[in-house]
Structure formats: structure tokens, C-alpha cells
Amino acid sequence: MSSSDVIQRLQQDADGLDFASLRADAIARAQELAGNIWTDYNLHDPGVTILEQLCFGLTELAYQTRVPVADYLANERGLIDFNHYALYKPHDIFPTRPITAEDYCKRLLDDIPEIDALQVATLATGEGYQACLYNISIKLLEPLTGPAYSDEQKQQVVRRVRSVFVKHRNLGEDLATVSIEESKPCFLRGVIETNGKRNQADIYADVFFQVARKISSNIRIERYETMAQQMDLADIFSGPLTQHGYIYSEHLNAHKSTKALEELTGLVAAIEGVKKVYRLELVDELGKPLDTQTIDNQSFFLKFPAEAQQQEWLKIDFNPGKTTDPAGVVKTRGDNIERLMEETRRALQKLEFEYRAFRNNKTNSTHFYPLPQGRTRRNSAYYSIQHHFPSVYGINAAGVPNHETAARKKQAQQLKAYLYPFEQLMANMLAHIQNLQHLFSLGERPNHSYFAEFLDNQHIPDFALLYHNKRIGLNDIQDIQARHDPATDRKSRALDTLLAIYGEEFSQEALLHFNYYHEAQPDYWAIDNKIRYLQHLVETSSGRSAAFDTSEAHWQASNLSSLHKKINILLGIQQLDSLVPLSQCFNNNQIHLVDDQLLDQVPDPTETDALTPNTDAQTVPALKAKQQEKLSQWSYTPNKSLTLCPAMIIEGTTIDAYRLQPVESGEAVAVYFYSQRLNRRRELKKADDRVQAISYVHKFKKIITDINAGAEGFYLLEHILLRPRGQQVNAEDSDFFDCRVSFIFPKWTARFANPAFRQFAEKTIANHMPAHLFPQIYWLDLPAMTDFDACYQPWLERLQQYEQQQLLHEDGNTEQLDRYAQQLRKCLAQYKPSAAYWI
């Protein structure tokens, strides 16, 4: 007996935010605080009425907190800008770059539909460095009914394989050779019985197509729409993102997969319309059967029979069940054989066209799973609880009747004032709920993390008269909140939450110890670093071991490895997306760098004491917030050479390095740079007054800071790319190329000159390096970096030319490339890498 439908009984809120729970809790707290001296808690008591109205207002706030998050993130059309909140789509954040040989197979199969099967393997010649070099052997998807591939078409496929590999290769890896496996034709011979329910030519074409796919590669590719019903998105998008369907890992990169005849028999028996398979085998062009060993040791592809004798080898016909003798299954075909072959050819062309279209047409990976969408909604203004009070209280929209006394009207205003703190808190809470998305936005500057709403007559009836200052507004409310609002800390923790979604963290406790360039606003710098980390998370996470594309420009281009960008972010390096010549940082800013002898020796101890920061009159005061903001928007435009020395570069980023010395006569002030490390000074300018001197110091300090920030960066050199291309490598040199990379840093900036920061940088690199790669870290001075750049840039340009020639299938000039590589290696050998190994 089925139960009747009933209305579910109202249940209390699990969080205790329903009206009954709030009222009971409020009454209990009032009793605890006031005992029996305040009220008897009857319903007619005004205190209970006020308490109930406040509880009612809280229930509305509780409801607002349970609005779906998507509604708050959506715009006026209900759409969500996912990147704006670092909410990356599954097909963006789950996939990875190719890492294993199977991953490379998936990448190549997806990008090059002409490939039917392939093998990706490292060179096995006994030389250690060649463990990072790949050989790729491909088997083409042979046309079933059309003409075979021409030599030019084959070479075009080889070029595309090389192009795909160099664009998706990993650090410390490179491509050695690409070859096309030569395949021999084979044919089907046997007897197949049909049930007569399907066209004979369609069955013949289906048998031929499925057997051809089985013996050619045995690789399974399914449409994403089908996979979405069987697997989770995290599993579907595991490995490289393929645009043409989901590629199973089974049978990928197999040397030779056995195609047992029993497998073919079972495959054909499962085809619609096939009743029984009596005999099935593969034969060569002469009709000689191919055994399993022959099939495994050689590459074959199924060929559609063209000759009359070959067309007789596979017999597919209807048996009405009159005989069990296979010979009795076949009816005399006579002239019908040509018509059957022609119909089969057309059916086979259709199957082949559909398969090639599937391999060529990209699938939009967002079509088979829905993305969250919000509902279009408007932020509602706070609606005062005073509207719900009985009219006798005189505080709702009706107010106090005109005939009432002035004392009665004052009492109503007193009650409004009494309720104001509670209402302001609830109004602020509503504003906070409706603006919470700004806290997680990557484009919002965290000036405040608490939000407020200014209450006036539109919110509370006749309320504005109670404000003592008639000019008070929202800014005043926000200023009060700002005293208790740790905006940057809350913004930082909100970004930590977004990072935690992806299993990432970015603790900058150690990095902030080396905050030489953002002394005025270190918290904003830390937040900017986290935002940069989130904005590049897809690239640095999915391609954490990805290398740069050797066929494209690398010098002064954004063609950087993902690890390079990630280390830039983790070290707070300003230059992120472009590789610039580090030795030219001073020339680009028209900086004339001279020796520290530019500084004058301090004449005597008394003058030295006068220049110490203990004297308030001679220290440079910090700028106020508005002055600092104005200065941050100012940039130095060099119109003439500026002479600096290394001490100014290293120590000039802190305000403690500058002194103000009043001139004996008048209001003029001399500005000095003072190096505490060298105990030397240099007069920079004589200003007309103290204000001008202070302004000059802060601008000069900003120039030094910007020069330092712009000069920071590093080169990431993969040793495998320096290998000789035109000659054999000595066994003793193979260790240099095997799984090694070098990081080349300048050591003349304020941070990079600090040994503690160098140690921090080296440890950061070690923590984020792929486990199989060994990093060597160099810290070069300006002359050494200039020599290195002179070797590094020509080698990069020649490497790009060589790769482009390989893509065009031209013979590259290996002699010239090897010569540049040898020069760069000799240059690097002159310098000693860091002896600290963070393993």
C-alpha cells in the first residue's frame, strides 16, 4: 500500500538560524544577563517585541548567506567570468603537458590524424645523455580505398611530428629522429555466415573496416560525449588535453601488439548481421597465410581486394540453415561479385570518411558538461526592521501622529537611536554578503575587506534627523570600519583559499625578508605575487616541467618554459613573460656604472657620526600615504646619462642610505648618499629647501629601486641542447648533457647581492625542479654576464635556425651550431657554480 503525499513538517535549521532557534537563544541570553529585573518575558513586553524583530531581521540575513555562490559571481546576464576569480574550467586545470612516452603518443595522435600508431622511445646506445633523446617511429593511417601516401605527404607528416614535439617537449628532453614504419598489405580470407537481416555489402564493409583498425593500431579513441557517462571529469582530462576525443592508454606505445586470429574472429562475430564465422585468417598478396609471429615481427595493413582472385578469398553470404557445411554457405555469385565489390567500396568509403572526420574535427570540450551559471539578481538595499513594528511604537513609516505631544515624538526618536547600532550592523552584514565576491576578485585592490551601507531616510523612516553631522555619509562609515579592518590580511587569506582549491600554497614569509623594492607597501606586493601565481596557475601547474619551443624565438620573446615563469613568480622577479639581455640593463636606462671610488671617503669620525641615522634632523622622513601613491605613478624617463656606482645600486633602495645636511647659510639642504658598508658618501644634490630635498631623495630612491627590479632575472640553460649534432659524444662528456640544467643569475642587484637571498633562491629552485633534473646555479657579475650574453644570444639564434630547417626537412648546418654550442659551454666552464646542493 503506497503512502499518501503529505507536507513535510517544518524542521529547525541545523545551524540554529531559524526564527524559533534565534528567539529561544536570545531569550536565554537575556535571562542569563538580566535575571528577573528586566522583564517577565511575556509577549506583550516591548523588549520581547524588539528582540523578535531583530531575530526576524537576522533570518533574512541567514537566507541571503544561502544564496548559491554562482548567483553572487554572475554578471547581469547570469554569466560568470571564471578567470576573474581564478576558477578554472576542468578542461583547463585538469590536463597536463605530455610527461610519459604514452602522453607523447596521445599528443601526436590527437594533433596529427594521419598517424595510426606510433612508438616513442629513448635512444638505447649506452650513452647516458641519450636517455633524454627520443626516437619516434610512426605508422600512417593507410587509405582503405584511396591512393597511398606520396613521399612528399610522408615528409610533411614527419615535419608535423617534429613541430608538435618541440612545442610540447619537457626540460632536458629533445628529439633525435622521426621515422615512418614501412607496412605491407595483407588480405582477409575466410567464410562468414550472415543472418540475412542486413545488406551484404554493409556487412562486408563493416568487417573489413573493423579488422583493418584492429590489425593496424588497436588504439581506442572515443567521443567525449560517450566518456562523460562513464568517467569523472578528473579521469577524462587526465594527461594531455586531446581535442578529438578520449584516447585510452591501453596499447599505446606498444612495440608490437599481438593480433591473434581468435581476436579477429570474436571481433567479426560481434558485428551486426554476422551469424557465424567458420574460418578467418590473414594472407599475403599471394594468398599465403600469415602466422602470429610474422604479424608481430612485421607491420601490416589491410588492403581492399582489387583482383578477382583476391575478392574470392573472403566469402560472406546468407545461409538459410539447410546445411552446416561451410561450403554450402556460399551461393554462386557469378556476375554479382563486381556489383557486391562496388557497393562494398562505397560503404567502406563512408566508414572511412566518418572515421577521418572524427580524427580531424575538434570537439569543444565544454559542450558535454555544463558550467555553473548564476541567476540574474540585483543587490537589494537594506530594509529596516522598524517597518515591521506595530504603529503604536511610532517608528514605522506611519510615524507618530501629529496630535501626539513633543515628548512622545522624542521617545520614538530615542527608540530609533537605540535600534540604530543593531540595524547598522545588519545593514553592513547585508552589504558584506552582496559584495563578498570582490574579496576573491583578482582585479580588486584591497582597500577594504568589510563593506558597509549608509542608513538614511530611504532605509529607516525619518532617521536622518538623528545624525548630529548632516554631512555624514558612506565614507564616514567606511572610515570607522577601516580602523578594525585588516584588509590586506583578509585579501591574502582569500587568495590562499583560491590556491588551496588546486592544492597549491604560496607562503611568502621568507620572501618578505628580502623586500627591498616595496618597503612602503609590502602587503600589497605579497598580494600581487599571489595574484600573479593564480593568473598563471594553469600554465605553471599543467606544464610544470615544460620547456621552451626551440623552433621559435627565445631571446627577448615570451617563449619561456613554465618552470622559468614559476621561479620568477616565487622569487618576486618583476620580469615575467620575456627573456631580456641581463647585461644590458644599465645601458637600456642610460646608466653609466663606475667604480665605488666615485664615493668620497668620510674625512673624520665626527662627520661620520653626523651622518648616522641617529640624528633626526639628518634622516629622510617617509612619505604620507597619498604622497606615496602619487610617487608610485611617477616613472623616470632618462634623457641623459646617470652616473652610479655598485654601492648605490645595492644600498640605494632603502631610505636609510640617504641623509639631509643643512647648508650653513640659508634654507638650502644638501642631499647625500651614504654607504654604511663602505663608510663612504656622495653628495647628490643641493636643494633649495628641505621639502625639495625630501622629494628628490624619494624620487632618486625610486629610480634605484626600478633599476634593480628591472635588472633581475635569470637564464635557464638545458645542457641537452648543447650536445654535438654532427659528431659522437665522448663517454666522459655524457654526464654534462644527461638531465642537467643551469640557472645563470646576475649578482649585482640589491637582492641578488645578498648571500641569504641567493640561498633562498637556490632552495626555491631545488624545491620546484623536476626530480630527475640536476640544477647548477651560477651567480655572475656584470663583466661575466656580458661575456655570457655574447655567447648565449648567437647560440639561441642558431638553434632556432637549425630547428626551422629541420621542420622544413632541410639539412641544417650542424657544424655552425656545434661551434656556437662549444663556445657557450667553454664560457660557462670558466665560472664556478654554487656549491650548495638542495637535495
Q: Kindly report the pTM of this predicted structure.
A: 0.86
Q: What is the pLDDT of residue 10?
A: 66
Query: Nine-digit cell at 168?
Result: 610540447
Q: What own/partner pairs with CB < 8 Å and gap ≥ 24 does 339-346 have?
A: 340/200, 340/201, 340/204, 341/305, 341/311, 343/199, 343/201, 344/201, 344/204, 344/205, 344/208, 345/145, 345/205, 345/304, 346/201
| 141-150, 615-624, 805-814 — most confident range | 141-150
Q: How far apart are CA 159 and CA 156, in angstroms?
A: 5
User: Which among 608, 614, 622 is positioned nearest to 674, based on CA atoms?
Assistant: 608
CA angle 575/577/583 to nearest 5° reads 50
User: How, if at all, do strands 740-746 and 221-222 pair?
Assistant: unpaired
- E strand map for 580-696: 591-593, 600-601, 642-644, 658-662, 669-675, 680-687
Residues 6 or more apart whose CB falls under 8 angstroms from that of 265 comprise: 277, 280
Helix (H, G, I), strand (E, B) or coil at 302: strand
Residues 6 or more apart whose CB falls under 8 angstroms from that of 838 comprise: 762, 763, 765, 766, 767
Give residue 615's pLDDT band: very low, low, confident or very high (50, 70, 90).
Answer: very low
Averaged pLDDT score across all residues of the chain = 85
Q: How far apart are CA 648 and CA 311, in angstroms?
A: 88
Residues 6 or more apart whose CB falls under 8 angstroms from that of 215 comprise: 186, 259, 264, 282, 295, 300, 301, 302
Residue 127 has pLDDT above 60, yes or no: no
Q: How far apart are CA 502 and CA 498, in angstroms?
A: 7
Q: What is the pLDDT of residue 332?
A: 40
Q: Would you say 183 and 301 are in contact if contact means Cβ atoms under 8 Å apart?
A: yes
Tens digit of pLDDT for each residue in 419-452? 999 999 999 999 999 888 889 999 887 788 899 9
Q: How large is the average pLDDT for residues 594-621?
A: 64
Q: Would you say 108 and 164 are in contact if contact means Cβ atoms under 8 Å apart?
A: yes
Residue 245 has pLDDT above 90, yes or no: no
Q: How many C-beta neighbours within 10 Å does residue 393 have?
A: 18
Q: How far apart are CA 480 and CA 430, in angstroms?
A: 17
Q: How many C-beta neighbours within 10 Å does residue 182 have?
A: 9
Give the residue with greater pLDDT, 731 vs 576. Answer: 576
Tens digit of pLDDT for each residue in 383-411? 999 999 989 899 998 888 988 899 999 99
Query: Nine-digit cell at 20?
Result: 524559533
Using alpha carbons, list the distances in angstroms from residue 753 to 510, 635, 644, 766. 16, 25, 16, 20
Please tell me the number of Cα atoms within 13 Å of 773 on its side-chain side. Answer: 28
Tens digit of pLDDT for each residue in 247-264? 888 878 775 544 556 678
Residues 6 or more apart whose CB falls under 8 angstroms from that of 643 comprise: 591, 592, 594, 598
Using alpha carbons, list the distances in angstroms from residue 356 to 359, 612, 744. 5, 79, 48
Q: Specify burial of residue 611 (Cβ count, 10 A radius: 0-12, 13-18, 19+).
A: middle
Q: What percent of the chain has pLDDT over 70?
A: 90
Q: How far apart are CA 494 and CA 289, in angstroms?
A: 69
Q: How large is the average pLDDT for residues 639-666?
A: 88
Q: How large is the average pLDDT for residues 821-825?
A: 94
Residue 1 has pLDDT above 80, yes or no: no
Give residue 41's pLDDT band: very low, low, confident or very high (50, 70, 90).
Answer: low
* Biggest CA pair distance of the chain: 129
Q: How large is the average pLDDT for residues 502-519?
A: 91
The per-residue DSSP string of 346-365 comes to HHHHHHHHHHHHHHHSPP-T
Q: Would you say 743 and 716 are in contact if contact means Cβ atoms under 8 Å apart?
A: yes
**What residues pair up with 675 in beta bridges, in sequence order?**
680
Q: What is the pLDDT of residue 608?
A: 45
The torsion of the CA quartet 112, 113, 114, 119, rounded to 10 degrees, works out to: 60
Q: What is the pLDDT of residue 611?
A: 47
Q: How far apart are CA 565 and CA 535, in angstroms?
A: 12
Q: How many C-beta neighbours within 10 Å does residue 582 have?
A: 24
Helix (H, G, I), strand (E, B) or coil at 821: helix
CA angle 9/14/18 to nearest 5° reads 70
Give residue 651's pLDDT band: very low, low, confident or very high (50, 70, 90).
Answer: very high
Q: Would you say 742 and 778 are in contact if contact means Cβ atoms under 8 Å apart?
A: yes
Q: How large is the average pLDDT for residues 55-77?
A: 89
Q: How far apart are CA 259 and CA 282, in angstroms?
A: 10
Q: What is the pLDDT of residue 72?
A: 87
**What residues pair up with 133 in beta bridges, in sequence order?**
174
Residue 119 has pLDDT above 80, yes or no: yes
Q: How far apart are CA 207 and CA 352, in angstroms?
A: 13
User: In which residue are the cell numbers 592508454 written?
Assistant: 249
Give residue 831's pLDDT band: very low, low, confident or very high (50, 70, 90).
Answer: very high
The torsion of the CA quartet 434, 439, 444, 449, rounded to 10 degrees, works out to: 90
Tens digit of pLDDT for each residue in 172-208? 999 988 999 888 888 989 888 888 888 888 999 999 9
Amino acid at site 360: N
Q: How large is the average pLDDT for residues 625-645?
A: 85
Helix (H, G, I), strand (E, B) or coil at 190: strand
Q: What is the pLDDT of residue 697?
A: 93
Q: How far apart are CA 390 and CA 812, in angstroms?
A: 92
Helix (H, G, I), strand (E, B) or coil at 741: strand
Residue 496 has pLDDT above 90, yes or no: yes
User: Which among 129, 183, 190, 134 is positioned nearest to 162, based on CA atoms?
Assistant: 134
Q: What is the pLDDT of residue 44?
A: 67
Give residue 505's pLDDT band: very low, low, confident or very high (50, 70, 90).
Answer: very high
**What residues pair up with 611 in beta bridges, in sequence order?**
none
Q: What is the pLDDT of residue 610?
A: 46
Residue 333 has pLDDT above 60, yes or no: no
Q: Would you say 563 and 546 are in contact if contact means Cβ atoms under 8 Å apart?
A: yes
